[in-house]
Amino acid sequence: MKILVTGATGKVGSRLTKRLVEHGHHVRALVREPTRAAVLNGPRVEFAQGDLLDADSLVAAVRGVDAVVHCAAFFRGATPEQAHAVNDLGTQHLASAARAAYVKHFIFTSTGLVYGSNGGRYAHEDDPCAPTVAYPMSKLAAERFLLGIEGLDVRVLRLPFVYGDGDPHIAEAIPMMRGFPAAQRMSIAHHVDVSQAVARLLDAPAPAHRIYNVVDDEAPDLATLFASVGAPPPDGSNAAFARDFDVLLDGRRIREDLGFKPSFPRLADALAAGA
């Protein structure tokens, strides 16, 4: 396929682009500044300059592609207004352009944080969502727009904390989570398995307007997650803030529908493999 990937220079998008190319697809990467995308240079990768906030710039980007995989988002450091503009309105602009161009598939990478705090209970895709912070609120708004749009085959992947494959995400998140309770558990997924989930949606027929949680088999506690990068456990000094992230994901649907099986079912497996 020819696939437009947004956020192709980001953590998820850059690794996904590499694996899509390895699977024989042709990737068109949507970038605001082509000079920043030099790391993606290679066979079967082209660039389209555009911005989610500029609807007109997306028309050429979606022209002639078979699928859109929308990974771009504004997360850490975004004001509520910026999160809404990029993650919600920007997604609306992209989806409208894709529908007008008769794109066959639209895959949206959302977040498991849309469920809101539920005390660490496993959240299923049909559970109600009640996020309380700006980023998941904006992603949920985008989901609802996408799932209500006519004439576009939409699938939503709700991602947990994504790690591995040379990504310093765990170490980078430690300052934010330093005050979380050490025993609080977190759903995670390796970059390899996020890419696998996208590939399975592209390759296999599945119901349109379907939501899938993507998650490893085991949710480690934060003490274990911190230890994986040599950090001492969190101190629990900001448990109130931690509740906004206290949700675990049920991953049965994608396994039953698409045959998904994590390459790294547990954090310990990725560590043992040096991955």
- Number of helices and strands in the chain (H, E): 11, 11
Marked catalytic residue, from 11, 18, 139, 261: 139
- Give which of 42, 101, 36 is closest to 66, Cα–Cα: 101
In degrees rounded to 5, what are phi and psi of residue 130? -145, 65
The residue behind tokens 């000094």 is: 237
Residues 6+ positions from 246 with CB-CB distance below 8 Å: 117, 118, 119, 120, 184
In this structure, what token pair is assigned to residue 103? 């794109």
The residue behind tokens 């497996």 is: 269
Respond yes or no: is residue 139 known to be catalytic: yes
Instruction: In whole angstroms, give the CA distance from residue 40 to residue 174.
Output: 28
Measured in whole angstroms, the distance separating CA 41 from the mean position of its chain's CA atoms is 22
First to last CA, the chain: 28
Helix (H) or strand (E) holding 122: strand 122-123
Torsion of CA 97, 99, 103, 107, to 10 degrees: 90
Q: What is the CA radius of gyration of the chain?
A: 18
Confirm if 15 and 69 have CB atoms less than 8 A apart: no
Residues involved in catalysis: 139
